[in-house]
Amino acid sequence: MINILPIPNTVSLVAGSSEGETPLNAFDGALLKAGIGNVNLLKISSIMPPKAELVPLPKLPMGALVPTAYGCIISDNPGELIAAAVSIAIPKDEELCGLIMEYSGKCSKREAEERVREMAKIGFEMRGWEIKKIESISVEHEVEKIGCAFAAAALWYK
């Protein structure tokens, strides 16, 4: 086998929300609040590699390509409550991978986080695997003009 894309071995849960003068500026602001505004997110579907460590977000080089699973919602309805959440189900069997689930919607952070935790549980049931624990993060935002709520599992290397 020639070299493949390197498989990440850490995962970090982050979340943030922001207003912005345009939808993309709100998204950019939410990424900045989450600590990953100055890197390039590569959207992935949504696996924590086996034995990856759950760590606080490391210092990422600016412009790095960061494999990331995320939930994100942007709204321009003033007064609306929006939320985003991400969960990771970590397997009992260390040879198996973890499962990342993301959700965003017009709801509270509590509701979003309950949903992603439930979704991770379902995903493990569908695999017939046992869960060691579920980690999760969420954020909510009340829209002033244009707002974004963003939650992510960022994969990285150590």
Residue 94 interacting with a copy of itself (CB under 8 A): no
Select from 14, 31, 85, 134 the one that contacts a copy of itself (CB under 8 A).
31
136 within 8 A of 91, measured Cβ to Cβ: no
Q: Which span sits near a copy of itself by CB under 8 A: 78-86, 106-114, 137-145, 150-158?
A: 150-158
* Interatomic CA distance for residues 108 and 15, integer angstroms: 14
Judged by beta carbon, residue 29 or residue 147, the one nearer a copy of itself is 29
Tell me, by CB under 8 A, how many residues bind a copy of itself: 57
Catalytic entry in 12, 17, 46, 104? 46
102 is catalytic: yes
Q: What Cα–Cα distance (Å) separates residue 75 from each residue in 20, 68, 110, 145, 151?
A: 10, 22, 19, 8, 15
* Annotated catalytic residue 45: yes
d(Cα 147, Cα 4) in Å, to the nearest integer?
Answer: 38
Asked whether position 151 contacts a copy of itself by CB under 8 A, the answer is no
Q: How far apart are CA 16 and CA 37, in angstroms?
A: 10
Helix (H/G/I), strand (E/B), else coil: 1: coil
Q: In what order do the strands lie in the sheet with 53-54?
A: 53-54, 10-19, 147-156, 65-75
Smallest gap from Cβ 78 to a copy of itself, in A, equals 19
**Whole-number Å distance between alpha carbons of 138 and 150:** 8
Interface map 120-139 toward a copy of itself (x if CB under 8 A): --xx--xx------------
104 is catalytic: no
Active site residue ranges: 40, 45-46, 102
Q: Which positions touch a copy of itself (CB under 8 A)? A: 1-9, 20-22, 24-25, 27-29, 31-32, 37-50, 52, 61-65, 67, 69, 96-97, 99, 101-103, 115, 119, 122-123, 126-127, 155-158
